[in-house]
Amino acid sequence: MDYDVIVVGAGPAGSCAAKMLADAGAAVALVDAARFPRAKPCAGWLNARAAQEFKFLDPVRRKIGAAPFTRLIFHSPDLAHTAAYGGRSHLGYIVSRRWFDAELVRLAEAAGAETFLGRKATAVEAGERKVRVRLARGRCLTGRILIGADGVHSAVARSLSLRERWEPHQLVMCLSRDVPLTEKQVADCFGGGRAIHVALGFGLAPGYAWAFPGAGYVNVGVGVRSEEAPRLSALYKEWIAVLREHRLLPAKIGHKKPEGAAIPAGGALEFENHVGKRALLIGDAGGFASASTGEGIYPGIRSASIAAECVLEALAADHGNRRGATCQDELLRFKHEWRRRMAPYLQMPNVNVAFLLPMIFTNREIAKRFARAFLFGENL
């Protein structure tokens, strides 16, 4: 066989899985239809937990100039009221996905993974003893295990009959764009601590609008549940106008169109087919995004870490080094392990959020709890 593991999709989940497996000595192929760096619509919020848990991300964020933020400011839906949380310590970072993802691919290559970039996977198969991935222009890769990390519209999930598509109620639809700013404009609009701004229930839609300042730009966007998707364009235009009115954007900015994205927010929680024959789904392909915020970078990397553990055990079993256990037995552990270690982070708060929402702006303790739930996935 060519490889121990073939990873399809080189976003944060796929690249980190490839790096972790290659670090452990596995022969890994990393496949993606895109060449890196590449554009990726995303707010670019890197949870502080990710940097704490995965130390290899520290040099990455420094190299690409990730912008730390120290404050979170909630706005009421009409922006008449605010509630702030934070202080001196970093609550997280805003990264450019163009450079963040490219650097993670480089780390996977440095660990020993062989990359096939700009080579779309046109067909995947999983058999009793091996998996096959056919690439554009004819090459066929073979391996022992396949990891599908190819995003919300995962072709791996469809090809292996693990999932045809996400149901509409499982998706959050977003429009966003990076607005270039000078460093002076960033400081003038967002302060020295680079506060991030979140308007909960903006336009009375289920979701929120945001303004996240990065290094030399601010990412602005609106995300709503799919039933409100027809309103998304109008909500985005309204959000831009409101940001200008409140001086969180300069009066004169370009009119570049926003880009759309779909997020399977909390999709993993209602999905049972993360494991197929010699195959796993991670990242957005597996629905690993927060149900309450849509945040996906940290959950995607964490799903990759848990998957890598299970895959290494599966490879050992495949080589006869785990008495009484099969490769498939070890892969099936992924279904239990991610739920045990990630489900509380991914799920919606177990409270009546609509009831508590107005109290954010009148009760400091409620505001703190909402902020920590939003930023770190803590339960309200």
As given in the structure block, the two tokens for residue 343 are: 């489900």
Other CB atoms within 10 Å distance of the CB of residue 188: 13
Residue 130 near residue 124 (C-beta atoms within 8 A)? no
Domain extents in the chain: 1-44+96-166+264-347, 69-90+172-262+349-380
pLDDT at 356: 83
Token pair of 330 as six digits: 């070890």
Asked, colleague to colleague, whether 1-44+96-166+264-347 and 69-90+172-262+349-380 share their fold, the answer is no
227-251 pLDDT per residue, tens: 999 999 999 999 999 999 999 999 8
DSSP state of 258: P
Range with lowest mean pLDDT among 3-12, 26-35, 44-53, 101-110: 44-53
- In this structure, which CATH number among 3.30.465.10, 3.20.20.210, 3.90.1150.10, 3.50.50.60 belongs to the domain 1-44+96-166+264-347? 3.50.50.60
Per CATH, the number for 69-90+172-262+349-380 is 3.30.9
pLDDT attached to residue 255: 66
Give one DSSP letter per residue of 225-242, joined into a string: EGGGGGGHHHHHHHHHHH
> Which residue reads 């107005």 in tokens?
358
- 167-193 pLDDT tens trace: 999 999 999 999 999 989 999 899 877
Helices (H), 144-296: 155-159, 183-190, 232-245
Please name the residues in contact with 200: beta carbons below 8 A apart, sequence gap of 6 or more: 74, 75, 76, 77, 208, 357, 360
Give the tens place of pLDDT for each residue, 132-151: 999 998 899 999 999 999 99
| Mean pLDDT calculated for residue range 220-228 | 95
Is there a contact between 367 and 361 (Cβ–Cβ < 8 Å)? yes
Q: Where are the alpha helices (DSSP H) in 275-326?
A: 297-318
CA distance 137 to 117: 12
% the chain with pLDDT above 70: 98
The SS3 of residue 78 is coil
Burial of 260 (0-12, 13-18, 19+ CB in 10 A): middle
**pLDDT at residue 319 above 90?**
no
Question: According to DSSP H, which parts of 27-125 are helical?
Answer: 48-53, 57-64, 97-111
Distance CA 115, CA 112 (A): 9
pLDDT of the residue at 304 = 98
- Kindly list the distances between the CA atom of residue 95 and the CA atoms of 18, 27, 65, 88, 290, in Å, as whole numbers in the listed order: 21, 30, 8, 20, 18
Phi, psi of 146, deg, nearest 5: -120, 135
CA Rg, the chain, in Å? 21
**Which residues are within 8 A (CB) of 276 and not within 5 positions of it... i.e. 6 or more apart?**
126, 160, 161, 162
Residue 282: count of CB within 10 angstroms of its CB: 34
